[in-house]
Amino acid sequence: MRWRLPLVLLFVTFLLGNTHAQNFSSPVTIVLPPQVLANQAATLAILGPDGHLAAGVPVDIGDGQHVTTDATGRAIFIAPPDGALVATTQGVSASALVDAALSRPAEPAVSATVMPDVSQHDRFVICGSGFSGNVAADTVTVNGDAAFVLAASPVCVVVLPQSRTLAGPARIEIDALGTRATASTSLIALDFVPPKPPLLPGRKGKLFVRAEGTGDPLQLTIENRSPDVIRFMRGDVQQVPTSGGTQNQAAIQVQAIRSGDFSFRVRIVPPADLAAASRYLEIAESVAPKNIRDELRTIASALARHPRDAEKAHAALEKLGNASPAGSLRTLIEAAGDAL
């Protein structure tokens, strides 16, 4: 989304989505279902730097398994027997937890849960049971509009709503392997509100992000992608609340550095998943060297004793991840932090 601000000709672009160990210049994004079933098929997707599905991209799934995305930008793989899988390509990695496969009942039922608020222009996750690991067998609609299924496993699918689907209360319908389920959420449009008067180089002011589709307060993560053009006064990555109500918006204090293009990423913060964080910490401990293993154990113990201090655990994991060399261990640490 781009805006032209008078006089200084500033532009803003919203960039949505997240992948472990990815930075703004990363060539691709790996989209995985957050949970897969042991030894069963699942589908991943690769997005190029333009946000479009990318064909012909080789991906290392681990344990000697390699796949290449097909013409649709997706690839089917077989999940490992336990623990967590780490997929890597072109210096980017993503992770998913591996659940034990349960015997399928004679007539499988599809159940579904989704976050209470999801972005109108970003992918979101639906988890439950009865899905197919092959995206071709999973059909999802949002308020009657067909959503695009990017990635899938028998327990989770990752979908992208159509841009025409309006913000507000949303009914999700899932048809998988011939059975149906429904879920409800709120579809949120995140819009930039241009500052008035326009920012001038050297001047301080506020940027606003408006959330349409709910009057409930939301937590947003906003990341500055152009610190040489505009400075966020409280750090280039901030978690800010929206106000709630009819003018549901969040404010960011900024200072314009110079005229030019600037961009930032904004996403709705999901509720903390303590169970997922604990599982990632346990898996990371099992492969970490002793010095890092001790730190992970300390963080896990503190989180178990004081689950309301998830933000402290997140900060500690972010610091530890940044200090760790690139690789599977770092991806697992980042995944634990992301779950908080």
| C-alpha to C-alpha distance for 38 and 83, rounded to whole angstroms | 9
pLDDT at 103 over 80: no
Phi/psi for 285 (5° steps) reads: -60, -40
**Nearest partner of 195 among 185, 209, 183, judged by Cα:** 209
Structure tokens of 233?
């006064």
Burial of 29 (0-12, 13-18, 19+ CB in 10 A): buried
| C-alpha to C-alpha distance for 114 and 131, rounded to whole angstroms | 14
pLDDT for the residue numbered 108:
56
Q: What is the mean pLDDT of the chain?
A: 87
pLDDT at 16 over 50: no
Fold of 29-99: Immunoglobulin-like (2.60.40)
Show me where the domains of the chain are located.
29-99, 111-189, 190-268, 274-338
pLDDT for the residue numbered 15:
33
Share of the chain above pLDDT 90, in %: 63
- For the segment 182-209, the average pLDDT, to the nearest whole number, is 87
The CATH code for residues 111-189 is 2.60.40.10
pLDDT for the residue numbered 8:
30
* The amino acid at 39: N
| C-alpha to C-alpha distance for 72 and 58, rounded to whole angstroms | 14
Structure tokens of 25?
């210049």
The answer to whether residues 133 and 40 touch, using CB atoms and an 8 Å cutoff, is yes
pLDDT for the residue numbered 109:
64
pLDDT digits (tens, 9 = 90+) for 41-85: 999 999 998 889 999 999 999 988 999 999 999 999 999 999 999
Please state whether beta strands 35-37 and 92-99 pair in parallel, antiparallel, or not at all (unpaired).
parallel
| C-alpha to C-alpha distance for 206 and 194, rounded to whole angstroms | 9
| C-alpha to C-alpha distance for 132 and 130, rounded to whole angstroms | 7
CATH architecture classification, 190-268: Sandwich (2.60)
